Amino acid sequence: MKNIAVFASGNGSNFQAIIDVVQTGELHANIALLVCDKPGAYAIERANRARISSFVFNPKDYQQKEEFEAEILLRLKQAEVDLIVLAGYMRLIGPTLLREFKGRIINIHPSLLPAFPGKDAIGQALEAKAKWTGVTIHYVDEGMDTGPIIVQERIRISEKETRESLQRKIQQIEHKLYPSILEMLLTRGEVTSDKATRTY
């Protein structure tokens, strides 16, 4: 069974979706570690409840990214982590982690990349009056949401769409898509639906 580490910064609903499928046996993985850069984030509570170890840090306690990433790396090695799963981790991954885990870090992002990268992708799509948005799962490289795309799912933005309704639709997709892609990656070592796009 492969060991995964989930990185989260906030609510952790995607983290919870992953915990749930591990517990039902649908996802064949061991969640070895939660890494969280926001002391007090609800994701930490979710880890505690599921008896998952967590490494929580405050970036302000470090002079630079290399320092906290070196500590993260140590914990990842101790936990023998095979794959890093970014689930609402709102921070760019630096060279310290990328060097060791290149090709073994994946991210989920609430837009059809390359559209609307970075923060508040849902707000960006609404602001731009886009007709479509969606969810992208991709490998992580040094850029901001730029790595090779694994899968995308499209969502139509209706005329009456609100931030709340769109966020709900996006999260519903995320909570199903991330576990299923993880299962494919971890059990087959690849994703068969490479660059597939499904439409809603």
122 versus 185: smaller Cβ distance to ligand GAR: 122
Residues classed as catalytic: 109
d(CA 62, CA 80): 24
- Beta-carbon contacts of 60 under 8 Å, excluding residues fewer than 6 positions away, are none
CB 134 within 8 A of CB 155: yes
10, 94, 124, 176: which one binds ligand GAR (CB under 6 A): 10
Task: Cite the DSSP H helix spans in the chain.
Answer: 13-24, 42-49, 65-78, 95-101, 121-127, 163-188
Minimum distance, C-beta of residue 167 to ligand GAR, in the bound complex (Å): 8
- For residues 43 and 14, give the distance between their C-alpha atoms in angstroms, rounded to a whole number: 9
d(CA 77, CA 75): 5
Among positions 34, 101, 174, 191, the unique one binding ligand GAR when judged by CB under 6 A: 174
Residues 104-123 that bind ligand GAR (CB under 6 A): 108-110, 121
Instruction: Indicate which single residue of 19, 76, 88, 101 sits in contact with ligand GAR (rule: CB under 6 A).
Output: 88
Residue nearest to ligand GAR (CB): 88
Q: Kindly tell me which residue out of 13, 30, 146, 180 binds ligand GAR, with binding defined by CB under 6 A.
A: 13
Q: Tell which residue, 21, 55, 52, has the closest CA to residue 35.
A: 55
Helices (H) and strands (E) in the chain, counts: 6, 8
153 is an interface residue for ligand GAR by CB under 6 A: no
Chosen residue from 12, 134, 147, 179 binding ligand GAR by CB under 6 A? 12
Q: Which residues bind ligand GAR (CB under 6 A)?
A: 8, 10-14, 87-88, 108-110, 121, 145, 171, 174
